[in-house]
């Protein structure tokens, strides 16, 4: 059952950024002891916990956090037949949290992601950096060789067009990981001991027309600008593929951001990814995707959205139609996925009626 617990704490800063405008979404199958180390940074914010797997299992949340917890029974009760679009036994279920959130911003993190340290040994406040990324413009139309020109100590370099220096609204902030890298199963197998220890102090905008493999374990976005596009697809139980949920969302999101002239940033902040998943289990989940992505990526590279699609919902439904028509020829799964994409938008609009009638972003 969904519930709320709030306990004030004097040790938490009194004015955290966007305290009343941001939800933290966490998918999990276990007790959330990892929140203890995040307490100084997360406690002022509202948490939405999406419990995957057995709904009768009790998930323990440390005291002092303000949270709602939804299990599969809650999802079925709230969405009814449309609950079929929410994955089961896969972290893709997190997108249900995006749907029920009522805040402008969302930050999502996995329960095996711990607080990282910067090169000076100081704990990294990942959430604060994501907020800074989202609140400053992006530069998708022209690459700045000093990366993010809006960061302190940086600016636009010589030759950067003055007409583009206003930038674009930032829809997504994609963070990175120290320790366990986000590798696919074949790479895990050939590099089982590889760890990422490189801290690169940079934030950059992913250029317009360029796709990237989005990872959902350390991610923030402007829900008002791009929320309906952040659907993590059909993965896990009963599906022929897994571990492509966040990347599927990223490809859909990026095509729509490009169409609506919105920006996507990647780089800082880092989190500490604590454990590697089993590469043999991962290979079972990924193997079809490894073949399919050779068709999926060219599909998104060549996808065009009609100019009359001036909201995220319209853009997403256009993509769903193209997925069914073009990727459906590869495997019947994509027909099912395209139908789920439509169901997702219908469910989103039912739970968010104010955004259904209002344009989320506008094409220029």
Beta bridge partners of 204: 266
pLDDT averaged per 10 residues, the chain (length 364)? 42 75 98 98 98 97 98 98 97 98 98 98 98 98 97 96 98 98 97 97 98 98 98 97 98 98 98 96 96 98 98 98 98 98 98 70 47
Q: For the chain, give the mean pLDDT.
A: 94
How many Cα neighbours within 13 Å face the side chain of 188? Answer: 16
CA distance 123 to 67: 24
| Beta strand pairing call for 263-273 and 46-51 | unpaired
Burial level of 46, CB count in 10 A (0-12/13-18/19+)?
buried
Provide the pLDDT for residue 354.
78
What separation in angstroms does the CA of 24 have from each of 38, 58, 111, 192, 221? 12, 20, 12, 31, 11
Sequence-distant (6+) residues with CB within 8 A of 354 are none
Distance CA 67, CA 118 (A): 29
Q: What is the pTM of this model?
A: 0.94
Overall fold of domain 22-351 = Spore Coat Polysaccharide Biosynthesis Protein SpsA; Chain A (3.90.550)
- Residue 87's Cα: distance from chain center in Å? 15
pLDDT score at 15? 82
Q: Are 257 and 364 in contact (CB under 8 A)?
A: no
Could you count the other beta carbons within 10 Å of the beta carbon of residue 302? 10
Burial label for 207, CB within 10 Å (0-12, 13-18, 19+), is middle
> What are the residue ranges spanned by the domains of the chain?
22-351
d(C-alpha 192, C-alpha 180), whole Å: 10
Closest CA to 316 of 216, 206, 243, 227: 227
Strands 203-205, 105-109: pairing kind: unpaired
Where does residue 245 rank: exposed (0-12), middle (13-18), buried (19+ CB within 10 A)? buried
Distance CA 161, CA 15 (A): 37
């Amino acid at each position: 059952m969904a519930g709320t617990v709030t306990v004030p704490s004097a040790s938490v800063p009194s004015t955290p950024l966007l305290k009343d405008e941001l939800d933290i979404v966490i998918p999990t199958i276990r007790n959330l002891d990892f929140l203890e180390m995040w307490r100084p940074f997360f406690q002022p914010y509202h948490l939405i916990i999406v419990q995957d797997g057995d709904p009768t299992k009790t998930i323990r949340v440390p005291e002092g956090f303000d949270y709602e917890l939804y299990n599969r029974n809650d999802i079925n009760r709230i969405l009814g037949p449309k609950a079929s679009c929410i994955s089961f036994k896969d972290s893709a279920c997190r997108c249900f949290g995006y749907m029920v959130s009522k805040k402008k911003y969302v930050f999502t993190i996995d329960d095996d992601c711990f607080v990282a340290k910067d090169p000076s040994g100081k704990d990294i406040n990942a959430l604060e950096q994501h907020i800074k990324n989202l609140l400053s413009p992006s530069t998708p139309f022209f690459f700045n060789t000093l990366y993010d020109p809006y960061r302190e100590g940086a600016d636009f370099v010589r030759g950067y067009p003055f007409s583009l220096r206003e930038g674009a609204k930032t829809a997504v902030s994609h963070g990175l990981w120290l320790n366990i890298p986000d590798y696919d199963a074949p790479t895990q197998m050939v590099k089982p001991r590889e760890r990422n220890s490189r801290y690169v102090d940079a934030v950059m905008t992913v250029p317009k027309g360029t796709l990237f493999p989005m990872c959902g374990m350390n991610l923030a976005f402007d829900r008002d600008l791009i929320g309906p596009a952040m659907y993590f697809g059909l993965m896990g139980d009963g599906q022929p593929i897994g571990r492509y949920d966040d990347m599927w969302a990223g490809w859909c999101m990026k095509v729509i951001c490009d169409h609506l002239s919105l920006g996507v940033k990647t780089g800082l902040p880092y989190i500490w990814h604590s454990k590697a998943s089993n590469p043999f289990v991962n290979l079972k989940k990924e193997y079809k995707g490894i073949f399919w992505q050779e068709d999926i990526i060219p599909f998104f590279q060549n996808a065009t959205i009609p100019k009359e699609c001036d909201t995220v919902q319209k853009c997403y439904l256009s993509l769903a139609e193209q997925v069914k028509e073009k990727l459906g020829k590869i495997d019947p799964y994509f027909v099912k996925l395209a139908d789920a994409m439509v169901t997702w938008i219908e469910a989103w609009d039912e739970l968010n009626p104010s955004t259904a009638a209002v344009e989320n972003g506008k094409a220029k």
